[in-house]
């Protein structure tokens, strides 16, 4: 099941950790936290054909597949343009760079996210200023953002965590008032929307990841920036390919962050299915909600009215989280803790970031538990996860 994914597979714990040591009773179905093979099977023939066409074309980097995918993803997200890059992390750092964010600039971001959000800020020489979250959405609290703006602040980097939109309307108002750049981290939230407007289309740029575990995933690393800003588009196109404007004329110092045609072709097979997969995720979230309602110990994820949550993760809060997780694990159910520590207390960031205190993010890190949720998870297995979680909480 673990497919040699260096960073997240370790964190993801795709199968229960003690799988080998403690064989399950034979009447128990194992329910992995994630099952990437199921989706591959569902598109196998189309993907094989798409890959074969790339092999026959002899064009492997920056070709017709990548260009077409850019247009299709821009249309999906409701932006004018998109630029394919090598990963979601690159999407973040290159869009900061393309927006002119650099040394000494402060970038306000969420204290509760994946490390890549902070790494991207450091990668351009800027300083992250962490702000606490709203407890319901797990996302950046606009009041904290407003209070943190100072003369060095140049950008806000909201994260749409778990597939729930950050509060983009108040955040954009703050940005407009203080003339700040807004780069959205949409790595977990492609298709999420506020009033029908999709994330990535609010700020100056939206950053997507197509890492194999994300809602739209490649067979390897891949990412994209969506934007309505022609200047950012132009810069990104230069930066991702050594600043080359053609014929070895290097306008700026760039890097190599390109998307290959095989990944683009696979993503083009999957993109038309994404809306259906989002519906399937939402349906499973409904099953969880119905089966877990009215249990005071279990706090369910909140879907703010007027927003569309895409449930990259179905993240509940429970008391004695580690004991609950162990109970599920022993019943053969894989879960994940996104994330066990807030960004400012990650060992790599200690002493490097500025910001205040983060009581809500700290509470979240201590209580969150993400349950299995993917389009291919059967209704019966979704029910079973809920049932075992109810039992686990009762047994506390
Ligand atoms: C996955 C992820 C990223 C990084 O994307 P990669 O494609 O793995 O580089 C950034 N931010 C968040 C919130 C993510 O979940």
Question: For the segment 300-317, what is each residue's pLDDT rounded down to a tens digit?
Answer: 999 999 999 999 999 999
Give residues with Cβ within 8 angstroms of 25, minimum separation 6.
Answer: none
Indicate if the pLDDT at residue 24 is higher than 80. Answer: no
> How far is residue 371 CA from its own chain's centroid?
16
Mean pLDDT, range 190-217, rounded to an integer: 98
**Structural element, H or E, at residue 200:** none
What is the pairing mode between strands 127-131 and 181-185? unpaired
Helices marked H in 152-200 — which ranges? 168-178
List the one residue out of 206, 216, 171, 248 whose CA is nearest residue 94: 206
Rounded average pLDDT over 27-50: 93
Model confidence at 3: pLDDT above 60: no
In order, the DSSP letters of 312-343 are: S-EEEE-TTHHHHHHHHHHTTB--B-S-SS-G
As a whole number of angstroms, the distance between CA 280 and CA 294 comes to 24
Pairing of strands 106-110, 127-131: parallel
- Identify the band that residue 5 occupies on the pLDDT scale cut at 50, 70 and 90: very low
Can you give the length of the chain in residues? Answer: 396
Number of the ligand 1 atom closest to the C-alpha atom of 113: 13
The encoded tokens of residue 28 equal: 């128990």
- Residue pair 229/204 in contact (Cβ under 8 Å)? The answer is yes
| 3-class DSSP assignment, residue 206 | strand
Question: Measured from the CB, is residue 338 less than 6 Å from ligand 1?
Answer: no
Instruction: Name the pLDDT band for 352 (thresholds 50, 70, 90).
Output: confident
* Mean pLDDT score, 135-154: 97
Rounded to the nearest angstrom, the distance between the alpha carbon of 209 and the centre of ligand 1 is: 6
CA pair distance 74, 97, nearest whole angstrom: 20
Pocket mutation for ligand 1, best pick of 85, 160, 188, 205 (most atoms within 8 Å of C-beta): 188
Look up the pTM and report it.
0.93
How many angstroms separate the alpha carbon of residue 392 from the centre of ligand 1? 31
Is 185 touching ligand 1 by the criterion CB < 6 Å?
A: yes
> Is the CB of 14 within 6 Å of ligand 1?
no
236-258 confidence digits (pLDDT tens):
999 999 999 999 999 999 999 99
Q: What is the pLDDT of residue 299?
A: 98
Q: Average pLDDT in the 109-123 region?
A: 98
The candidate with the shortest Cα–Cα distance to 88, out of 210, 234, 242, is: 210
pLDDT single digits (tens) 324-333: 999 999 999 9
Minimum CA distance residue for ligand 1 atom 14: 187
pLDDT of 28 reads: 67
Write down the pLDDT at residue 16.
Answer: 44
Q: What share of the chain is helix, strand, coil (3-state, %, to 5)?
A: 40, 15, 40
**pLDDT greater than 90 at residue 25:** no
Looking only at the bridges linking them, the beta strands covering 223-227 and 368-371 are unpaired
Of residues 393 and 16, more confidently modeled: 393
Q: What is the pLDDT of residue 322?
A: 98
Q: How far is CA 385 from CA 101, 289, 371, in A?
A: 44, 12, 8
Give me the pLDDT at residue 354, please. 64
Residues 6 or more apart in contact with residue 48 via CB below 8 angstroms: none
What is the widest separation between alpha-carbon atoms in the chain? 68
Distance 186 CA to ligand 1 centre (A): 8
List strand residue ranges (DSSP E) for 41-150, in order.
81-85, 106-110, 127-131
Ligand 1 contact, 89 CB (< 6 A): yes
Distance in Å, CA 351 to ligand 1 centroid: 23
Q: Which of 185, 190, 346 to mutate to test the pocket of ligand 1 (most atoms within 8 A of CB)?
A: 185
Q: Is the CB of 157 under 6 A from ligand 1?
A: no
**Cα 210 to averaged position of ligand 1 atoms, centre (Å):** 8
Taking 80 as the threshold, does the pLDDT of residue 369 lie above it? yes
Ligand 1 near 311 CB (within 6 A)? no
Ligand 1 nearest atom to the CA of residue 209, by list position: 7
For the chain, the C-alpha Rg in angstroms (whole number) is 21
From 115, 116, 120, the mutation candidate for ligand 1 (largest count of ligand atoms within 8 A of CB) is 116
Work out the burial of residue 330: count CB atoms within 10 Å of its CB; fewer than 13 is exposed, 13-18 middle, 19 or more buried: middle
Closest CA to 254 of 97, 61, 88, 84: 97
Tokens of 171: 């955040």
List the alpha helices (DSSP H) in 124-215: 142-148, 168-178
Ligand 1 atom at minimal distance to the Cα of residue 214:
1
What whole-number percentage of the chain has pLDDT above 70?
Answer: 92
Mean pLDDT score of the chain: 93
Range with the lowest mean pLDDT among 1-5, 43-47, 248-252?
Answer: 1-5
Q: Which DSSP letter does residue 375 get?
A: T
pLDDT band per the 50, 70, 90 thresholds, residue 6: very low
**Mean pLDDT of all residues in 121-138:** 97
Cβ of residue 188 lying under 6 Å from some atom of ligand 1 = yes
């Amino acid at each position: 099941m673990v497919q040699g994914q260096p960073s997240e597979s370790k964190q993801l714990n795709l199968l229960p950790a003690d799988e080998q040591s403690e064989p399950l009773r034979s009447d128990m179905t194992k329910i992995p936290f994630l099952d990437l093979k199921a989706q591959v099977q569902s598109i196998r023939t189309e993907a094989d054909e798409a890959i074969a066409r790339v092999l026959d074309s002899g064009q492997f980097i920056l070709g017709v597949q990548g260009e077409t995918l850019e247009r299709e993803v821009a249309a999906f997200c409701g932006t004018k343009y998109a630029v394919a890059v090598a990963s979601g992390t690159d999407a973040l750092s290159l869009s900061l760079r393309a927006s002119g964010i650099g040394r000494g600039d402060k970038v306000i971001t969420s204290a509760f996210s994946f490390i890549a959000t902070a790494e991207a800020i450091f990668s351009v020489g800027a300083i992250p200023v962490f702000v606490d979250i709203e407890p319901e959405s797990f996302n950046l609290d606009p009041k904290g953002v407003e209070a943190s703006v100072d003369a060095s602040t140049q950008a806000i980097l909201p994260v749409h965590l778990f597939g729930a939109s950050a509060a983009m309307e108040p955040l954009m108002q703050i940005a407009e008032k203080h003339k700040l750049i807004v780069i959205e981290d949409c790595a977990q939230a492609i298709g999420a929307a506020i009033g029908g407007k999709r994330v990535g289309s609010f700020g100056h740029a939206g950053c997507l990841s197509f890492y194999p575990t994300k809602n739209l995933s490649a067979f390897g690393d891949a990412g994209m920036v969506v934007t309505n800003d022609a200047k950012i588009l132009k810069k990104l196109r230069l930066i991702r390919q050594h600043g080359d404007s053609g014929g070895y004329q290097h306008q700026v110092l760039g890097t190599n962050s390109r998307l290959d045609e095989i990944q683009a072709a696979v993503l083009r097979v999957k993109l038309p299915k994404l809306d259906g997969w989002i519906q399937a995720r939402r349906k499973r979230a409904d099953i969880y909600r119905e089966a877990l309602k009215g249990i005071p110990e279990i706090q369910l994820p909140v879907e703010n009215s007027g927003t569309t949550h895409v449930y990259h993760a179905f993240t509940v809060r429970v008391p004695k989280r580690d004991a609950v997780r162990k109970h599920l694990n022993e019943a053969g159910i894989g879960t994940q803790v996104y994330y066990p520590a807030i960004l400012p207390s990650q060992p790599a960031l200690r002493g490097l970031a500025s910001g205040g205190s983060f009581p809500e993010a700290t509470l979240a890190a201590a209580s969150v538990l993400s349950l299995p949720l993917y389009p291919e998870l059967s209704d019966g297995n979704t029910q079973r996860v809920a049932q075992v979680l109810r039992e686990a909480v009762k047994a506390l």
